[in-house]
Amino acid sequence: MIALKMRVGPTYTFSFWGISKFLDNINWKVKLSASTIDFNTFCGAPPVYMVVYTLKPEECDEDIDSEQKPDTRHLESRKSYLLRVAFWSSKKRPSEKKFRELTTPAGDGAVASATSKPEVNGLGWLTCCASRGG
């Protein structure tokens, strides 16, 4: 990995193993030994977010003692997101309100109304991808 030089053009595939053997996304369950827990109990209602981020270095404060340990907390203000993906199971979908929030194009500032954009089965801006030609 150290020698890997990413460049524009090739397609890179990343796999995240870590705790994946304990997560059953399709059935919306977390598997712990012989028992299972509903994802909603484990981490709240859908969607669940998978994120990859880097931490910005802490800002230097001249008044802080130089022997003080560096701040290693994962504060929102120190995160630079590289990837943020919302996912859910077809068996446990997000509420309609949450789905609309997730599918509103960036920059609109508010949830799109049914009259502001064409809709196919309530999919709003996904119409281009969800509609079928005549």
Q: What is the pLDDT of residue 64?
A: 54
| Contact residues for 111 (Cβ-Cβ < 8 A; gap 6+) | 97, 100, 101, 104
* Amino acid type, 115: T
Q: What is the pLDDT of residue 65?
A: 57
**CB burial readout 78-91, b (16+ within 10 A) else e:** beeeeeeeeebbee
Q: What is the pLDDT of residue 124?
A: 45
Residue 75 CB-half CA count within 13 A: 9
Query: 91 near 36, Cβ under 8 Å?
Result: no
User: How far lies 48's CA from each of 25, 29, 52, 134, in Å?
Assistant: 10, 12, 14, 36
Q: What is the pLDDT of residue 22?
A: 86
Q: What is the pLDDT of residue 78?
A: 92
22: left (phi over 0), alpha (psi -120 to 50) or beta: alpha
Q: Tens digit of pLDDT per residue, the chain (134 long)?
A: 788 888 888 887 777 667 778 888 889 999 988 899 998 898 888 998 888 899 988 775 555 555 678 888 899 999 999 988 888 999 889 999 999 998 888 655 444 443 333 344 444 444 444 433 43
Distance CA 5, CA 2 (A): 8
Give the number of other CB atoms < 10 A from CB of residue 103: 14
Q: What is the pLDDT of residue 94?
A: 92
